[in-house]
Amino acid sequence: MHTHSTAARHFPADFVWGTATAAFQVEGALGEARRAPSIWDTFARVPGKVHQGDTGDRACEHHQRFREDIALMAGLGVGAYRFSVSWPRVQPTGAGPAVQRGLDFYRALADELLDKGIQPFLTLYHWDLPQELEDAGGWPARNTAERFAEYARLVAEALGDRVEHWTTLNEPWCSAFLGYGSGVHAPGRTDPVAALRAAHHLNLGHGLAAQALRATLPSRARLMVSLNPAVVRPRSGSEADREAARRIDALATRVFTGPMLHGRYDEDLIADTAPLTDWSCVRDGDMAAVRQRLDGLGLNYYTPSVVSAGGPVPERHDGHGESPHSPWPGADHVAFHQPPGPRTEMGWAVDPTGLTELLLRFHREAPGTPLYVTENGAAYEDKPDAQGQVHDPERIAYLRDHLDAVRRARAEGADVRGYFLWSLLDNFEWAYGYSRRFGAVHVDFDTQVRTPKSSARWYGRVAGTGRIPDED
């Protein structure tokens, strides 16, 4: 039974209702002079790294079918589309001039969105580093941050007249700690010191790119970054468990928000990681470069983490894939536990209270900065029925409860301006390949036929009315 009033379930008329994708997960169009290899192309070809050897070579063929996909969005009444630019499509080696054919695709994409009344929200980096840059050292190398700023400038010159909303990085935690720590993501390295260096150079890349964007874009442009801060809960009230939660918060969240929002790495993070690194990769001036004015902060949320002090061989149900190597340098003794209650196909606990908690945290920590939920959604085992329809009541329930969590945060004062459903399409789910479906639109990966699920129509009604409907 709902205790809040119907009026309170309304969102303001200017609230942004969007969907999101990432270039590598949906575009396809590798080779044929269309796109150079990224670290994910290389990683997917290593036996055993990606489920059933799946690759992103075809993905959802969004590169060819983007007009069809935008028509789907328009039909649902979605007002914004968050997409990423493929760095190796625009600048194949991560250096030198832009490839105009690559930029032309994103020009056409933005034009089609604008023509259909959909706001483009552009992300510069969603994990697909050009392979040549990885061969030269990757994110643990400072040069990658400098190259990223140059790439940002090239994209801004090409699309600044069309795109108002710009995001530097998506989930740099995954790039650094899953890519270079646990190795479950590309490039698959397992070096805790490299992971910490990568985190710093991602921070630096964000700051240098933000400077390049500000110098290139019209004054109306809005700059953001999208982070996936952890909502970390100690398993008990013991001092040891609270200390475990503090350590994970430092590595999951404050390693990025400290420099980006406050111009510093927190002292406890430096102390926790002192056995691994002296942070000599941080040079004079870096903190000032990283801390750039933001017009919005993107927050991605799926599930909370429950941690304890652990033991000699701690459990690690952290939701980030199986690996003998930890993505938590300096905190690899911390145990992660499965919270009770329902779970998605990813094994992630469904707990919308974490989203309210996260939004209120950053309402307090970044006052005056508009907040956006730039990713939220769930994977379920969606199959067409005998009539070819895809009914996904579990996803509708998930979305309803998480949108209500956003409403609650707003009611407590959080300046949340928009929500982006992950994802528009079923797609290449990184190391899970095509075995996990997050889409509001079902994709038959053999025929590429798109079928909007029940949740797509439900979400379209929410976007059209600005109101969470009462339970069906």
Active-site positions read 171, 375
Closest C-alpha among 255, 205, 207, 206 to residue 230: 255
- 109 contacts: CB under 8 Å, gap ≥ 6: 66, 70, 83, 120
Q: How far apart are CA 151 and CA 168, in angstroms?
A: 11
- 17 within 8 A of 80, measured Cβ to Cβ: yes
Q: How far apart are CA 219 and CA 228, in angstroms?
A: 28
Burial readout 267-296 (b: 16 or more C-beta within 10 A, e: otherwise): eebbebbeeebeeebbeeebbebbbbebeb
CB neighbourhood size of 49 (10 A): 18
Q: Is 59 helix (H, G, I), strand (E, B) or coil?
A: coil
Q: How far apart are CA 320 and CA 311, in angstroms?
A: 20
CB neighbourhood size of 13 (10 A): 6
> At 336, which helix (H) or strand (E)?
strand 335-337
Instruction: Please give the sequence-ordered ranges of beta strands (E in DSSP) within 377-466, or none if there are none.
Output: 416-422, 441-443, 450-452
